[in-house]
Amino acid sequence: MDSVDLLKTLGLEMPTPAYLLGSLLFSIVGAVAWWHGKKTERPRAKWLGLALMLYPYATPQTWLLYLVGVVLSVWLAFSWN
């Protein structure tokens, strides 16, 4: 049995390229926000950045990844200044 088939029988699947791209994009935005919040001592930017970096680990669907990422990014944009 192929290892990919074995993983599928266990209920594990590889993420799609769209999921990986979204995860990378929102993690980079989160890292920049976290760094900026830490440097300027703005706790909201720091915590939103941390949330953007970590939430892809708990989000199984691609559409949910993008929805939560856009909401957190918009919230970050409005609280940036």
1: pLDDT strictly greater than 70: no
Amino acid at 31: A
What is the full DSSP assignment across 44-63? HHHHHHHHHHHGGGG--SHH
Mean pLDDT of the chain: 90
Task: Output helix, strand, coil percentages for the chain, rounded to the nearest 5.
Answer: 80, 0, 20
34: pLDDT strictly greater than 70: yes
Question: What share of the chain in percent tops pLDDT 90?
Answer: 72
14: pLDDT strictly greater than 90: no
User: What average pLDDT score do residues 9-31 get?
Assistant: 89
Q: Which contiguous run of DSSP H or E holds residue 42?
A: none
